[in-house]
Structure 1
Amino acid sequence: MNRKVGLFFGTFNPIHTGHLIIANHMAEYSDLEEVWLVVTPHNPHKKKSTLLDNNHRLEMVYRACETYERLKPSNIEFGLPQPNYTVKTLAHLQEKFPTNDFCLIMGEDNLKTFHKWKNSDVILENHEIYVYPRIASGEVDAKYKDHPKIKRIDAPIVEISSTFIRKSIKELKNVRPLLNDKVWEFIDQMNFYRK
């Protein structure tokens, strides 16, 4: 029997308590045995200027996951050609770890645009998708409503954004409650997001 591993992709710029709440909920309250937090090198839809160096973001994810046995940081996309697509990452992982069944973790808002993803039908053919709720998610494509490979997990709704955290740090606001202590210490020590 293969191990079920959930993949939670993100730029994690920075990783915050919202990410940890969702990842931990998926690991504890679904049939996933582990959740890998996959640090994406550069999302073509995001401006690169505000993005910290790949290894700095990976370091923050390492620090955030240290005390969670079933959460693992992953830099698997760092070595893949850019721009990269999820379908290619999944194929690469399946080849590298044949005894794992990889599942995607995404918010309801991402499911709304999933049909626009490169080879979304291929992804759905080969992988399950675990969806967590979002407040403003909009209408999901009818074909995904009762799809057998799409599992809706009743996770807490957490509306914290990395953009808000970066902006707040720049404005010298105290955002420590929104970040894991070790992540906050690293950001503070490295003087990230201040300029």
Structure 2
Amino acid sequence: MKVGLYFGSFNPIHIGHLIIANHLAEHSDLDQIWFVVTPHNPFKKKNTLLDNYQRLEMVYQATKDYIKLKPSDIEFGLPQPNYTINTLAHLQEKYPKNTFSLIMGEDNLKSFHKWKNYELILENNDIYVYPRISEGKVETQFDNHERIHHIDAPIIQLSSTFIRKNIKAGKNVKPMLPEYVWKYLDEMNFYR
């Protein structure tokens, strides 16, 4: 089985995440998309994150009606901070019959050369890149790389940061979130 790994804090998961993941599930050779909930991204401040299991619950709620989309807590038991290379090694050991690919926005591809062991990741894994509106050029070393596939997915201008700020300001963000996620956030009073 060919699995696309969509890493993120998902703080919270929103319809933009689902649109991208579903597009890849339906318009690429990936059989499933796993939302890998990251406990601590080395590039983000941890104090802005909801509890790992609360974010996993939201991903579960958001994906439960989609056969090809799955939540993953694979990084919860790995050493912190998490590095993608370690997660990939762990997954390959745990699921030897699967092949794993990364899913990332164009903005992440620009800094991909700064990732730990990025050459090894590229040697062993495909990367599916979805478009983002951003400035600057992607590193030229990745322009025509055989392992990097640019996907013509919809461009989504929506961020979890924007959603959190709007919830805090008392704005209605319901249309930006999967229904189950909205209900969960509302019941739990998150981000207020």
> CA shift at 1:137, angstroms?
4.8
Contact 2:38 2:82 in 1 (8 A): no
Q: Deviations 1:64-112 (Å, cap 9, x if unpaired)?
A: 0011110000000000011120000000000100010000000001001
Match of 1:78, SS state, is coil
Q: How many residues align?
A: 192
Contact 2:104 2:128 in 1 (8 A): yes
Contact 2:7 2:37 in 1 (8 A): yes
1:101 equivalent in structure 2: 99
What is the identity percentage for the equivalent residue pairs of Structure 1 and Structure 2? 68
CA distance in 2, matches of 1:86, 1:13: 19
- Within the candidate set 180, 183, 189, 2:181 is matched to 183
* Structure 1 residue runs without a partner (length 5+): none
2:79 equivalent in structure 1: 81
Contact 2:88 2:100 in 1 (8 A): yes
Match of 1:103, SS state, is strand
Contact 1:105 1:131 in 2 (8 A): yes
2:123 equivalent in structure 1: 125
> CA shift at 1:50, angstroms?
1.7
My pick for the range that moved more, 85-94 or 137-146, is: 137-146
Alignment partner of 1:53 is 2:51: yes
Alignment-mate amino acid for residue 179 of structure 2: D
Contact 1:108 1:137 in 2 (8 A): no
* Structure 2 residue runs without a partner (length 5+): none
RMSD over aligned Cα atoms: 0.7
1:144 equivalent in structure 2: 142
CA distance in 2, matches of 1:115, 1:48: 23
Alignment partner of 1:116 is 2:114: yes
CA distance in 1, matches of 2:20, 2:87: 21
CA distance in 1, matches of 2:69, 2:157: 21
- Within the candidate set 3, 6, 13, 2:4 is matched to 6
Alignment-mate amino acid for residue 88 of structure 1: N
2:70 equivalent in structure 1: 72
Contact 1:7 1:103 in 2 (8 A): yes
TM-score (norm 1): 0.97
Match of 1:36, SS state, is strand
TM-score (norm 2): 0.99
CA distance in 1, matches of 2:128, 2:48: 29
Alignment-mate amino acid for residue 178 of structure 1: M
Write out the 4+ residue segments of structure 1 that deviate beyond 4 Å after TM superposition: none
CA distance in 1, matches of 2:91, 2:42: 21
Alignment-mate amino acid for residue 125 of structure 1: E
Alignment-mate amino acid for residue 115 of structure 2: W
